[in-house]
Amino acid sequence: MREHAAVTEIERRVPDAVIDAIAEAGLFKLATPQRYGGHQSSMRTMLDVSAALAEGDGSTSWVVTLVNVCNWLTSLFPSKAQDDVFGANPDARVTGVLSPTSTAAKDEGGWRVTGRWYYNSGSSHSDWAVLGIPLRDDDGTVVDQGLALVPRADLSLEDTWFVAGMKGMASNCLIAEDIFVPEHRVMSVPAAIEGTYPTEHADEVMSRSAFVPILALVLAGPQLGLGRAALKYVTEKAARKPISYSFYETQAESVAVQLQIAEAAMKIDTARLHAERAAADIDQATQNGTYPDFTQRARVRADTGWAIQNTLEAIHTLVTVHGAGSFAEVNPLQRIWRDANTAGRHAVAAPTVAFEVYGKALLGIDEKITPLV
């Protein structure tokens, strides 16, 4: 991944050679049910794998992360829908967007859907997509929000991902023009948020995991790896890099640098510990067959925001320590900085929203500011 990182940025997609290597290693199947040859692992495993991959390249890690979480979403659908995807191709890769930026009209046995879904990460490497749709009654009133499982072949793609960081995510726009989605491939999002899934396989542990906590926490994985990569790069260079216009022959000799490095390392550890706690909460509830209550789910969102905030602060400090050379095009640190700052602004991972949700829950204030808890 490190060897292909520059090409990934130039081509604005993860090269096929990297995708093939990841597929061969089985890393796209972390959440695929074992019935189809998947690993059906755990939230902690998804977090650890995403972080490890991000030490090589942020965009690649993000694509793997989003495929795995969308494969997990697919495991929540009825068996018939799962068979459509994994039964036909055990190595199927699913991407998706929850926002219902579309129209959906009831038709016999399903829905007719037209829409555009932006920021569909990894869309050029997927076989299927899970896409948000509004569900209306006969009077045209929106009564539910659905998640539709659609073959990638039914969708066209518009190349729209021109960004400063995470350039290789290929988070382009998927477009549907009056496509038919059968009823068994539509799932209610509000019901899923409360833990009601249409899958018949409640015995499969991972398919009992909490909906929003999984969707939120996976976004911290790439950040953790980017933070570790930045720390390793800066500390290794500090032993040889002088501090310009000072008497220090190496950065490592400076007490100021030592303090900053320690602070950055502690923030990265803090991020990891909060993310791991959240993963443990999710996995333990899943093992116990219980569904976390609102406050517990809110804490996972807060843990996610706290992990991302601390990682971004650590990377900011490390770039400051390394100096202006951080922004040379040949320096991987500038790509890490751009990738982390782009991914860290994902709406579901926004720290301020997460903290407000958790604070309200702790104070017993019954005021929802987002349905995604």
Tens of pLDDT along the chain (373 residues) come to 999 999 999 999 999 999 999 999 999 999 999 999 999 999 999 999 999 999 999 999 999 999 999 999 999 999 999 999 999 999 999 999 999 999 999 999 999 999 999 999 998 899 999 999 999 988 889 999 999 999 999 999 999 999 999 999 999 999 999 999 999 999 999 999 999 999 999 899 999 999 999 999 999 999 999 999 999 999 999 999 999 999 999 999 999 999 999 999 999 999 999 999 999 999 999 999 999 999 999 999 999 999 999 999 999 999 999 999 999 999 999 999 999 999 999 999 889 999 999 999 999 999 999 999 9
Helix axes 220-238, 43-54, angle to 10 degrees: 40
Half-sphere exposure of 23 (CA within 13 A, CB side): 14
Q: Are strands 186-188 and 128-136 parallel, antiparallel or unpaired?
A: unpaired
CA distance 27 to 24: 8
Q: For position 140, what pLDDT does the model report?
A: 85
Half-sphere exposure of 178 (CA within 13 A, CB side): 0
Half-sphere exposure of 127 (CA within 13 A, CB side): 14
Q: Which residues pair with 186 in a beta bridge?
A: 148
Which among 330, 301, 303, 332 is positioned nearest to 315, based on CA atoms? 332
Query: Would you call 72 helix, strand, or coil by DSSP?
Result: helix
CA distance 36 to 86: 6
Backbone angles phi, psi at 14, to 5 degrees: -70, 125
CA distance 56 to 184: 39
Q: For position 139, what pLDDT does the model report?
A: 85
Q: In 3-state terms, the chain is what percent helix, strand and coil (to 5)?
A: 55, 15, 30
Gyration radius of the chain over CA positions? 21
Amino acid symbol at 76:
L
- Contacts of residue 368, defined as CB under 8 A and 6 or more positions apart, other chains included, come to none
Which among 166, 219, 162 is positioned nearest to 58, based on CA atoms? 166
Residue ranges in 85-219 assigned as alpha helix (H): 189-193, 211-217
- Contacts of residue 308, defined as CB under 8 A and 6 or more positions apart, other chains included, come to 219, 220, 223, 271, 344, 349, 351
Its pTM surpasses 0.85: yes
Cα-Cα-Cα-Cα torsion 306, 312, 316, 322, nearest 10 degrees, comes to: 120
Q: For position 111, what pLDDT does the model report?
A: 96
Q: For position 138, what pLDDT does the model report?
A: 83
CA distance 48 to 2: 18
Residue 159: alpha-carbon gap to chain centroid: 20
Task: Yes or no: say if 172 and 124 are a contact pair by the CB < 8 Å rule.
Answer: yes
In this structure, the number of other CB atoms found within 10 A of the CB of residue 246 comes to 11
DSSP summary character for residue 87? I
Amino acid symbol at 342:
T
CA distance 156 to 140: 27
- Contacts of residue 59, defined as CB under 8 A and 6 or more positions apart, other chains included, come to 8, 9, 14, 166, 167, 168, 169, 339
CA distance 348 to 231: 26
Q: For position 104, what pLDDT does the model report?
A: 96
Task: Yes or no: say if 180 and 248 are a contact pair by the CB < 8 Å rule.
Answer: no
Give the pair of three-digit tokens for residue 219.
Answer: 């976004």
